[in-house]
Chains A and B, each alone.
Chain A
Amino acid sequence: MEDKYIIAKRIAMELSDGDLVNLGIGTPTLVADFIPADRHVILQSENGIVGIGPLSDVPTGSVNAGGNPATIVPGGSYIDSALSFSLIRGGHVDVTVLGALEVDQEGSLASWIIPGKKVPGMGGAMDLVVGAKKVIIATTHTNNGRPKILKKCALPLTAYRQVDLIVTELAVIAIEPDGLRLLEVHPDHTIAEVVSLTEAILKIDRVRPMKGVEA
């Protein structure tokens, strides 16, 4: 299984029945394909859809947060951007899943700017990370072999100390008040490998095999 599907499948297991969930662009969007059939999860799109459905091959008049033609599920609603961000900032969104350039052991996230190189803007990410009850980061463990899970983010932050869980193709890591705890490791890899590819300090006691992947 490709890395992004490993990550998406594992994150889908974190979602509970009835959760209102916002999925970011890229790998986070793939989480929708792995939500267990017995769980009714409502997906919010920050441009103003509560209950966004699968993408459409033809124009629908509506789009997802990446501008692609979108559908709405039965029971869904269209809302304006002020209400959409009231849901987000007001703590009504249970889980948000977002990508990362860097994430650090204090739970801070950098995801929106590489000064001098790439300045796309933060879009809705800063509000999502501050407002959602649970923030899950979907990211590859490294970027061209260089760790993305750091002691301290070097890039400008999206938010300070808001991340709850990091899921990579190698590991699941929780952000706790006193640092990062390694919860799960992909069964094809070792704890030592994960440690060597992580700059941040990891607390290691009861590490389990990563759920959702077969050894």
Chain B
Amino acid sequence: MRKFIVKSELIPLLKDGMTIMVGGFLANGSPEHLIDALLEAGVKDLTIIANDGGWEDRGVGRLIVAGRVKKLIASHIGTNPAAGRMMSAGTLDVDLVPQGTLVERIRAKGAGLGGILTPTGLGTIVQEGKTILTVANADYLLELPLGADLALLGGAIADCFGNLRYRGSMRNFNPIMALAADLVVAEVSEIIPELDPECVITPHPLVDFILEA
């Protein structure tokens, strides 16, 4: 499989109704050029899984503002007023998940686990409809794995093999999402001959395609 692609090669892979994970924290480490590709492809009715709703003009927020998102699974939408308005109007379904639970549900999917047990959310509305399990005299919520058709990673530098490391705090959800989707596409700012094997964060077999932007 050819790893390094241009944007036009990505567009045929994008479909209406896909579930797509997008890395980044308030758009820091979000793949803006891959989001451009989603906008250009015209796909709609997307389910987006991301830490947050981004900003109206940055990150996954642009997909929300453009009306391409049917459902958003995230921990926070406060920086994207459009997302709040659409949720109130009933045009955007928002599933708010505690941030640590969100990343661990994604990790569970990627790690082949059947779920995770967490104390986070006990005694709050987060526990509604969920199974509470008692282990060694402590209560936990059973939270289920979360996977996607496609993961779009950002904030990375690749080597010519497709190994990734991430710049600064852009790592966030990216390396976790790299394990949890059927197809993984990374946007990188730079391609260097070889990364130090001790510094690789996402090993190349996890990455299907790389877009240099």
Query: Contact residues of A with B, CB < 8 Å?
Result: 45-49, 60-63, 65-67, 70, 72, 78-82, 84-85, 88-89, 108, 118-127, 130-131, 156-161
Known: A78-B168, A81-B51, A156-B124. A122 touches B175 (CB 8 A): no
CB of A62 within 8 A of CB of B123, answer no
Chain A nearest CB, measured from B180 CB (Å): 11
Query: A159 and B172 in contact (CB under 8 A), knowing A80-B201, A82-B103, A124-B75?
Result: no
Chain A neighbourhood of B166, CB < 8 A: 78
Q: Is A67 in contact with B124, judged by CB distance below 8 angstroms?
A: no
Q: Give the A-binding residues of B (Cβ under 8 A).
A: 25-28, 51-52, 55, 74-79, 84, 87, 94, 96, 98-101, 103-104, 107, 118-126, 166-176, 201
Partner of B171, one of A78, A130, A131: A78
Nearest-neighbor residue (CB-CB) of A60 within chain B: B168
Give the Cβ gap from B109 to chain A, nearest Cβ, in Å. Answer: 12
Chain A residues near B201 (CB, 8 Å)?
80
B170 x A62 contact (CB < 8 A) = yes
The 8 Å CB contact of A61, one of B26, B104, B107, B167, is B167
Name the contact of B120 in the complex, choosing from A45, A61, A67, A130 (C-beta under 8 A). Answer: A130
Q: Which of B77, B124, B172 contacts A121 (CB under 8 A)?
A: B77
Q: A67-B26, A118-B84, A159-B122 are in contact. List 20 more A-B contacts (CB 8 A).
A: A46-B99, A47-B25, A48-B172, A61-B28, A62-B168, A63-B26, A78-B169, A79-B171, A81-B173, A82-B107, A89-B100, A119-B87, A121-B78, A122-B75, A124-B99, A126-B126, A127-B99, A127-B101, A156-B124, A159-B123
In Å, the complex CA distance between A14 and B175 comes to 35
Query: A18–B122 Cα gap in the complex (Å)?
Result: 30
Q: Do B168 and A61 touch across chains, with their CB atoms under 8 A apart?
A: yes
A/B interface sample: 30 pairs, CB < 8 A:
A47-B25, A47-B26, A47-B28, A48-B25, A61-B170, A62-B168, A62-B169, A63-B26, A63-B28, A67-B26, A67-B27, A67-B79, A80-B172, A81-B99, A81-B173, A82-B107, A85-B103, A119-B87, A120-B77, A121-B77, A122-B75, A123-B76, A124-B75, A125-B98, A127-B98, A127-B99, A131-B100, A157-B123, A157-B125, A160-B124
